[in-house]
Amino acid sequence: MAAEKFEVEPVGHVRGGRSEAFDDNWGAVEAVIEIEERFEPDSLAGLEEFSHLDVIYVFHALGDEPITSGARHPRGRTDWPKVGIFAQRAKARPNRIGVSTCEIVRVEGRNVHVRGLDAIDGSPVIDLKPHVIEMGPRTDVHEPPWIVDLMAEYWDA
Amino acid sequence: MAAEKFEVEPVGHVRGGRSEAFDDNWGAVEAVIEIEERFEPDSLAGLEEFSHLDVIYVFHALGDEPITSGARHPRGRTDWPKVGIFAQRAKARPNRIGVSTCEIVRVEGRNVHVRGLDAIDGSPVIDLKPHVIEMGPRTDVHEPPWIVDLMAEYWDA
């Protein structure tokens, strides 16, 4: 069966923050998510009652970087195991979609001021969802040691 | 500035589970995420080392249900506040994208067996990411009382 394709239209963009992606040190980065003018500011009504936001965005700056779906070492680190694209969160992935949780600083009109979003300036945002505690795991969580290593300085200031 | 549109191609589909969406009682639902044949099984290599999966999928069964972005009462509950579409996780939203965390039961070939995924049979999946503890909130989390009420029976068996 052929896979159906979908068209996705950005609901907004990331403004400010970093202009290039770096592997680490995203924790103190401040940016604004500016929603499109076709949405009224009341599309954000009530968002400030939540402390955190889940942002779904596009890794638009990748260009034509090839997407390797097969198993490889994350960040080229041969001391970490080879894992497939669906077992890691690398940017060069099918559909180039990132999902990230950041802190809501304040909401002003069509602008959501955030802290600790790992998306660069100009990133198209395809959805915003309030971060809901109950949507997290309902059973014990575990993960392999390599991802703990990888994340060690990710949010450092 | 006109918003650029993107084409998104499913990486797989949800097979099994519920055939219709209900508001509640998703916790015990078991389903399989079957990835497309254009991906080798090793695109899932290492995923079983994680206990949970973040699934990005499309609410494809909505049809032409209109999308209200302005403030409204979630589930029509007038005892809850009016909130905008970006302050709730309702299905009828711009780009109709859902993000959900479920338990990984096992991985077999191109199939990921999961428990507690709130997506119905046939849902197109546009990305799979391992659930990484460190990607969660780094500061204290709070949310308004209405969402705690809304989620009260969401994961009940």
ipTM: 0.95
Candidates A1, A4, A5, A6: best to mutate against B (most CBs of B within 10 A) is: A6
pLDDT digits (tens, 9 = 90+) for A34-72: 999 999 999 999 999 999 999 999 999 887 778 888 999
Does residue B2 have a pLDDT over 60? no
Give burial (CB, 10 Å; 0-12/13-18/19+) of A76: exposed
For B28, the closest chain A residue by CA position comes to A138
Rounded Cα distance between B124 and B44, Å, is 17
Does residue B120 have a pLDDT over 60? yes
Residues ≥6 apart with Cβ < 8 Å to A51: A103, A104, A131, B137, B139, B140, B141, B142, B143
Note the pLDDT of residue A1.
47
| pTM summary value | 0.95
C-beta atoms of A143 and B71 within 8 A: no
Rounded Cα distance between B123 and B31, Å, is 11
For B81, the closest chain A residue by CA position comes to A46
Rounded Cα distance between A73 and A78, Å, is 6
Confidence of residue B3 (pLDDT cuts 50, 70, 90): low
Mean pLDDT over each residue of chain B, to the nearest integer:
94
Domains and CATH numbers, chain A: 12-64+95-133 (2.40.30.70)
Rounded Cα distance between A49 and A135, Å, is 17
